[in-house]
Amino acid sequence: MNLRTYLAITISLTVLLVPRPSHALDDLANGKRLATQWCASCHLVTPDQKQAKADVPPFMTIANRGEEELLRLPLFLANPAHSKPGTQMPDFNLSRQAIADLVAYIRSLKPKLP
């Protein structure tokens, strides 16, 4: 293999394999957008939101739950009634990507320790 081929392969692999940190930021921003659009009528979804339904847990409260509960969120969001029979939480038929983005956003609301 000559040097040009070697470089071409190396560069393509680097572009393909190196994780792009901006992706995580996109997920958060999209999760926030979805939350504001679909979830804010019942939940407080941002710390500065003024009104939501009483007795629906604010996203900040959910974010403060233990890791075990946070790990269950994707399953709950995929089919709320299946995880919690009788729940008032509607099924939005969210895609896997939408669920991942929403959970990333909810997790970002956990207060960071200094």
Cβ–Cβ < 8 Å for 74, 98: no
What CA–CA distance (Å, rounded) separates 51 from 112?
A: 25
Choose one: 3-11, 16-24, 87-95; the region binding ligand HEC (CB under 6 A): 87-95
What CA–CA distance (Å, rounded) separates 29 from 105?
A: 7
- Name which of 10 and 88 has its Cβ closer to ligand HEC: 88
Binding mask 36-65 for ligand HEC (x = CB under 6 A): --xx-xxx------------xx----x---
Least distance CB 108 / ligand HEC (angstroms): 13
Neighbouring residues of 56: CB distance < 8 A, sequence distance ≥ 6: 42, 43, 88
For ligand HEC, the binding residues (CB under 6 A) are 35, 38-39, 41-43, 56-57, 62, 73, 76-77, 84, 87-90, 92, 102
